[in-house]
Protein backbone atom coordinates (compact mmCIF):
# COMPACT_ATOMS: atom_id res chain seq x y z
CA UNK A 1 0.00 0.00 0.00
CA UNK A 2 1.80 3.08 -1.25
CA UNK A 3 -0.67 5.91 -0.83
CA UNK A 4 -2.33 6.99 2.43
CA UNK A 5 -3.88 10.39 1.77
CA UNK A 6 -7.70 10.28 1.82
CA UNK A 7 -7.60 6.53 2.48
CA UNK A 8 -9.61 5.05 5.37
CA UNK A 9 -7.96 3.44 8.39
CA UNK A 10 -9.78 1.46 11.08
CA UNK A 11 -7.85 1.18 14.35
CA UNK A 12 -8.81 -0.87 17.39
CA UNK A 13 -7.40 -0.04 20.81
CA UNK A 14 -7.15 3.47 19.39
CA UNK A 15 -7.49 5.57 22.55
CA UNK A 16 -4.05 4.84 23.97
CA UNK A 17 -0.65 3.33 23.26
CA UNK A 18 0.10 2.03 19.79
CA UNK A 19 -3.46 2.62 18.60
CA UNK A 20 -3.40 6.29 19.46
CA UNK A 21 0.03 6.62 17.83
CA UNK A 22 -1.24 4.88 14.67
CA UNK A 23 -4.14 7.32 14.58
CA UNK A 24 -1.96 10.40 15.10
CA UNK A 25 0.52 9.38 12.41
CA UNK A 26 -2.27 8.41 10.01
CA UNK A 27 -3.73 11.87 10.52
CA UNK A 28 -0.44 13.49 9.47
CA UNK A 29 -0.65 11.47 6.25
CA UNK A 30 -4.14 12.80 5.52
CA UNK A 31 -6.04 9.61 6.31
CA UNK A 32 -9.67 9.36 7.33
CA UNK A 33 -9.91 7.51 10.62
CA UNK A 34 -12.32 5.18 12.38
CA UNK A 35 -11.18 4.73 15.96
CA UNK A 36 -12.43 1.90 18.17
CA UNK A 37 -11.82 1.46 21.88
CA UNK A 38 -13.66 0.12 24.90
CA UNK A 39 -12.80 3.13 27.10
CA UNK A 40 -15.32 5.79 26.10
CA UNK A 41 -13.74 8.82 27.80
CA UNK A 42 -10.29 8.16 26.36
CA UNK A 43 -11.80 7.49 22.94
CA UNK A 44 -13.77 10.75 23.02
CA UNK A 45 -10.65 12.67 24.03
CA UNK A 46 -8.61 11.16 21.19
CA UNK A 47 -11.29 11.88 18.60
CA UNK A 48 -11.65 15.46 19.86
CA UNK A 49 -7.91 16.00 19.74
CA UNK A 50 -7.64 14.77 16.15
CA UNK A 51 -10.70 16.73 15.00
CA UNK A 52 -9.10 19.90 16.37
CA UNK A 53 -6.26 19.29 13.90
CA UNK A 54 -8.66 19.02 10.98
CA UNK A 55 -8.71 15.22 10.74
CA UNK A 56 -11.83 13.51 9.42
CA UNK A 57 -12.40 11.01 12.22
CA UNK A 58 -15.14 9.13 14.04
CA UNK A 59 -15.02 7.11 17.25
CA UNK A 60 -16.94 3.90 17.87
CA UNK A 61 -16.96 2.36 21.33
CA UNK A 62 -16.25 -1.30 20.68
CA UNK A 63 -15.67 -4.41 22.75
CA UNK A 64 -13.50 -6.15 20.17
CA UNK A 65 -13.83 -9.51 21.91
CA UNK A 66 -17.45 -9.61 20.72
CA UNK A 67 -18.07 -10.48 17.08
CA UNK A 68 -21.28 -8.49 16.77
CA UNK A 69 -19.56 -5.31 17.98
CA UNK A 70 -16.75 -5.72 15.44
CA UNK A 71 -19.42 -6.25 12.79
CA UNK A 72 -21.09 -3.03 13.93
CA UNK A 73 -17.72 -1.27 13.64
CA UNK A 74 -17.42 -2.47 10.04
CA UNK A 75 -20.99 -1.44 9.26
CA UNK A 76 -20.43 2.08 10.62
CA UNK A 77 -17.16 2.35 8.69
CA UNK A 78 -18.83 1.42 5.42
CA UNK A 79 -21.88 3.62 5.97
CA UNK A 80 -19.67 6.59 6.85
CA UNK A 81 -16.78 6.29 4.40
CA UNK A 82 -17.85 3.57 1.96
CA UNK A 83 -14.57 1.70 2.10
CA UNK A 84 -11.64 0.62 4.27
CA UNK A 85 -7.99 0.54 3.19
CA UNK A 86 -5.98 -0.02 6.34
CA UNK A 87 -7.00 -2.13 9.35
CA UNK A 88 -5.04 -2.18 12.59
CA UNK A 89 -6.15 -5.15 14.71
CA UNK A 90 -4.34 -3.61 17.62
CA UNK A 91 -6.34 -3.90 20.85
CA UNK A 92 -4.54 -5.89 23.53
CA UNK A 93 -4.39 -6.67 27.24
CA UNK A 94 -2.03 -8.57 29.48
CA UNK A 95 -2.06 -10.94 32.44
CA UNK A 96 0.75 -12.94 33.97
CA UNK A 97 1.66 -15.51 36.57
CA UNK A 98 2.18 -19.26 36.43
CA UNK A 99 -0.01 -20.85 33.77
CA UNK A 100 -1.67 -23.21 36.25
CA UNK A 101 -2.68 -20.23 38.36
CA UNK A 102 -4.44 -18.33 35.58
CA UNK A 103 -8.17 -18.66 36.05
CA UNK A 104 -10.76 -19.43 33.42
CA UNK A 105 -11.68 -15.75 33.51
CA UNK A 106 -8.04 -14.76 32.89
CA UNK A 107 -7.97 -16.92 29.77
CA UNK A 108 -11.35 -15.69 28.57
CA UNK A 109 -10.35 -12.04 28.98
CA UNK A 110 -6.89 -12.23 27.42
CA UNK A 111 -7.80 -14.54 24.55
CA UNK A 112 -10.99 -12.58 23.92
CA UNK A 113 -9.17 -9.29 23.42
CA UNK A 114 -5.81 -10.43 22.07
CA UNK A 115 -6.86 -13.26 19.78
CA UNK A 116 -10.60 -13.30 19.17
CA UNK A 117 -10.57 -9.62 18.24
CA UNK A 118 -8.01 -10.32 15.50
CA UNK A 119 -10.06 -13.27 14.30
CA UNK A 120 -13.17 -11.08 14.15
CA UNK A 121 -11.29 -8.29 12.37
CA UNK A 122 -9.83 -10.60 9.75
CA UNK A 123 -13.08 -12.49 9.22
CA UNK A 124 -15.23 -9.37 8.89
CA UNK A 125 -12.99 -6.81 7.16
CA UNK A 126 -11.02 -8.99 4.72
CA UNK A 127 -14.07 -9.79 2.55
CA UNK A 128 -14.83 -6.05 2.34
CA UNK A 129 -11.30 -5.43 1.10
CA UNK A 130 -11.38 -8.28 -1.41
CA UNK A 131 -14.73 -7.09 -2.74
CA UNK A 132 -13.32 -3.57 -3.22
CA UNK A 133 -10.26 -4.99 -4.96
CA UNK A 134 -12.45 -6.98 -7.34
CA UNK A 135 -14.32 -3.83 -8.30
CA UNK A 136 -11.35 -1.45 -8.60
CA UNK A 137 -7.94 -2.39 -10.02
CA UNK A 138 -6.40 0.67 -8.34
CA UNK A 139 -7.66 -0.23 -4.85
CA UNK A 140 -5.04 -1.03 -2.19
CA UNK A 141 -5.51 -2.39 1.31
CA UNK A 142 -3.42 -3.69 4.19
CA UNK A 143 -4.06 -5.40 7.53
CA UNK A 144 -1.69 -5.00 10.48
CA UNK A 145 -2.12 -7.43 13.37
CA UNK A 146 -0.40 -6.43 16.60
CA UNK A 147 1.29 -9.45 18.18
CA UNK A 148 4.40 -9.16 20.37
CA UNK A 149 7.88 -10.50 20.85
CA UNK A 150 5.98 -12.80 23.19
CA UNK A 151 4.52 -14.34 20.05
CA UNK A 152 8.00 -15.52 19.06
CA UNK A 153 9.49 -16.60 22.40
CA UNK A 154 8.09 -17.92 25.68
CA UNK A 155 9.19 -16.11 28.81
CA UNK A 156 8.14 -17.58 32.18
CA UNK A 157 5.19 -16.17 34.15
CA UNK A 158 3.62 -14.82 30.93
CA UNK A 159 1.87 -17.96 29.70
CA UNK A 160 -1.63 -16.70 28.96
CA UNK A 161 -0.22 -13.67 27.13
CA UNK A 162 2.36 -15.77 25.25
CA UNK A 163 -0.34 -18.14 24.02
CA UNK A 164 -2.49 -15.31 22.70
CA UNK A 165 0.37 -13.65 20.83
CA UNK A 166 1.78 -16.86 19.33
CA UNK A 167 -1.70 -17.46 17.94
CA UNK A 168 -1.78 -13.97 16.38
CA UNK A 169 1.56 -14.61 14.66
CA UNK A 170 0.27 -17.94 13.31
CA UNK A 171 -3.00 -16.37 12.14
CA UNK A 172 -1.12 -13.54 10.45
CA UNK A 173 1.33 -15.81 8.63
CA UNK A 174 -1.57 -17.94 7.39
CA UNK A 175 -3.45 -14.83 6.30
CA UNK A 176 -0.38 -13.71 4.36
CA UNK A 177 -0.29 -16.98 2.43
CA UNK A 178 -4.05 -17.10 1.90
CA UNK A 179 -4.19 -13.56 0.53
CA UNK A 180 -1.31 -14.35 -1.81
CA UNK A 181 -3.45 -17.03 -3.46
CA UNK A 182 -6.30 -14.70 -4.37
CA UNK A 183 -5.10 -11.09 -4.69
CA UNK A 184 -2.19 -8.74 -5.34
CA UNK A 185 -4.05 -5.76 -3.88
CA UNK A 186 -4.61 -6.73 -0.23
CA UNK A 187 -1.63 -7.47 2.02
CA UNK A 188 -0.90 -7.93 5.71
CA UNK A 189 1.80 -7.56 8.35
CA UNK A 190 2.38 -8.67 11.92
CA UNK A 191 3.82 -6.23 14.44
CA UNK A 192 5.97 -7.83 17.14
CA UNK A 193 6.98 -5.05 19.55
CA UNK A 194 9.15 -5.44 22.61
CA UNK A 195 8.60 -3.28 25.69
CA UNK A 196 7.36 0.22 24.87
CA UNK A 197 6.02 2.83 27.36
CA UNK A 198 2.37 2.64 26.29
CA UNK A 199 0.56 2.09 29.59
CA UNK A 200 -0.17 -1.45 28.43
CA UNK A 201 0.87 -2.76 31.85
CA UNK A 202 -2.25 -1.07 33.25
CA UNK A 203 -4.65 -2.72 30.79
CA UNK A 204 -6.56 -4.29 33.69
CA UNK A 205 -8.28 -0.90 34.09
CA UNK A 206 -10.64 -1.97 31.28
CA UNK A 207 -11.20 -5.55 32.43
CA UNK A 208 -14.96 -6.24 32.51
CA UNK A 209 -16.43 -6.79 35.96
CA UNK A 210 -17.91 -10.06 34.72
CA UNK A 211 -14.38 -11.38 34.09
CA UNK A 212 -12.80 -10.08 37.30
CA UNK A 213 -11.21 -12.56 39.70
CA UNK A 214 -12.63 -12.73 43.19
CA UNK A 215 -9.42 -14.02 44.74
CA UNK A 216 -6.29 -12.05 45.58
CA UNK A 217 -3.53 -12.32 42.95
CA UNK A 218 -1.05 -15.09 43.63
CA UNK A 219 2.59 -14.35 44.34
CA UNK A 220 3.61 -15.25 40.79
CA UNK A 221 0.92 -12.92 39.39
CA UNK A 222 2.09 -10.09 41.63
CA UNK A 223 5.70 -10.65 40.57
CA UNK A 224 4.72 -10.78 36.88
CA UNK A 225 2.83 -7.48 37.26
CA UNK A 226 5.80 -5.83 38.95
CA UNK A 227 8.12 -7.05 36.20
CA UNK A 228 5.76 -5.73 33.54
CA UNK A 229 5.47 -2.36 35.27
CA UNK A 230 9.24 -1.98 35.39
CA UNK A 231 9.87 -3.15 31.82
CA UNK A 232 7.18 -0.99 30.25
CA UNK A 233 7.90 2.21 32.17
CA UNK A 234 11.66 1.98 31.61
CA UNK A 235 11.44 1.30 27.85
CA UNK A 236 13.09 3.87 25.60
CA UNK A 237 11.49 3.48 22.16
CA UNK A 238 8.20 5.39 21.96
CA UNK A 239 4.86 4.36 20.50
CA UNK A 240 5.20 7.23 18.01
CA UNK A 241 8.43 5.71 16.71
CA UNK A 242 6.74 2.32 16.38
CA UNK A 243 3.90 3.94 14.44
CA UNK A 244 6.32 5.48 11.95
CA UNK A 245 8.10 2.14 11.53
CA UNK A 246 4.78 0.39 11.00
CA UNK A 247 3.50 2.76 8.33
CA UNK A 248 6.85 2.49 6.55
CA UNK A 249 6.57 -1.31 6.64
CA UNK A 250 3.07 -1.08 5.15
CA UNK A 251 4.40 1.18 2.42
CA UNK A 252 7.25 -1.23 1.66
CA UNK A 253 5.09 -4.34 1.91
CA UNK A 254 7.10 -5.84 4.80
CA UNK A 255 5.37 -8.62 6.69
CA UNK A 256 7.39 -8.87 9.92
CA UNK A 257 7.72 -5.64 11.88
CA UNK A 258 10.12 -5.64 14.84
CA UNK A 259 10.48 -2.67 17.15
CA UNK A 260 13.74 -3.87 18.69
CA UNK A 261 15.91 -5.80 16.18
CA UNK A 262 18.55 -6.20 18.89
CA UNK A 263 16.08 -8.33 20.86
CA UNK A 264 15.89 -11.01 18.16
CA UNK A 265 18.69 -13.20 19.56
CA UNK A 266 16.30 -15.19 21.79
CA UNK A 267 14.14 -15.87 18.73
CA UNK A 268 17.16 -17.20 16.84
CA UNK A 269 18.14 -19.34 19.81
CA UNK A 270 14.62 -20.75 20.13
CA UNK A 271 14.55 -21.91 16.52
CA UNK A 272 18.03 -23.36 16.80
CA UNK A 273 16.80 -25.37 19.79
CA UNK A 274 13.80 -26.56 17.78
CA UNK A 275 15.96 -27.65 14.86
CA UNK A 276 18.42 -29.40 17.16
CA UNK A 277 15.59 -30.97 19.19
CA UNK A 278 17.07 -29.55 22.37
CA UNK A 279 15.00 -28.76 25.43
CA UNK A 280 13.96 -25.09 25.73
CA UNK A 281 16.93 -22.99 26.78
CA UNK A 282 17.15 -20.70 29.76
CA UNK A 283 15.72 -17.31 28.68
CA UNK A 284 17.98 -15.70 31.30
CA UNK A 285 21.17 -17.47 30.17
CA UNK A 286 22.93 -14.17 29.61
CA UNK A 287 21.69 -12.71 32.90
CA UNK A 288 21.70 -15.47 35.55
CA UNK A 289 21.07 -12.93 38.29
CA UNK A 290 17.66 -12.20 36.76
CA UNK A 291 16.69 -15.87 36.99
CA UNK A 292 17.87 -16.05 40.61
CA UNK A 293 15.91 -12.94 41.49
CA UNK A 294 12.76 -14.18 39.74
CA UNK A 295 12.98 -17.61 41.40
CA UNK A 296 13.51 -16.00 44.79
CA UNK A 297 10.56 -13.66 44.28
CA UNK A 298 8.03 -16.27 43.18
CA UNK A 299 9.07 -18.62 45.97
CA UNK A 300 8.79 -15.91 48.57
Query: Alpha carbon 112 to chain centroid distance?
Result: 13
3-state secondary structure of 289: helix
Give alpha helix (H) positions in the chain: 17-28, 40-51, 67-81, 104-111, 117-135, 159-182, 219-233, 239-252, 265-276, 288-299
Binning pLDDT at 50, 70 and 90, where does residue 211 land? Answer: very high
Catalytic residue among 25, 139, 161, 247: 161
What percent of the chain is modeled with pLDDT above 90? 83
Residue 257 has pLDDT above 80, yes or no: yes
Q: From CA 97, how far away is CA 225, in angstroms rounded?
A: 8
Binning pLDDT at 50, 70 and 90, where does residue 172 land? Answer: very high
Binning pLDDT at 50, 70 and 90, where does residue 227 land? Answer: confident
Contact 113, 163 (CB under 8 A): no
Has 247 been annotated as catalytic? no
User: pTM for this structure?
Assistant: 0.95
| pLDDT tens for each residue of 199-209 | 767 788 889 99
Q: How many CA atoms lie within 13 A of 240 on its CB side?
A: 3
| pLDDT tens for each residue of 258-269 | 988 888 898 999
Fold of 8-263: Rossmann fold (3.40.50)
- DSSP characters for 213-239? -SSPPPHHHHHHHHHHHHHHHT--S-H
Beta bridge partners of 97: 158
Contact 194, 259 (CB under 8 A): yes
Average pLDDT, the chain: 94
Residue 229 has pLDDT above 90, yes or no: no
Would you kindly state where each structural domain of the chain is located, as residue ranges? Answer: 8-263, 264-300
Amino acid sequence: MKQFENKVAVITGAASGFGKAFAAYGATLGMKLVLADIQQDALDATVSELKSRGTEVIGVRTDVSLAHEVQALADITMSTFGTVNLLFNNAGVGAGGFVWENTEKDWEWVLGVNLNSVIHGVRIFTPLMLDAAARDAAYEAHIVNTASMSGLVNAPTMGVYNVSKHAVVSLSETLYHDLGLVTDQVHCSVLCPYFVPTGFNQSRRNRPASLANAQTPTRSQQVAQAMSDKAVTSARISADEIAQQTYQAVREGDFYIYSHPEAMDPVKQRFEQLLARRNPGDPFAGHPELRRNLARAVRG
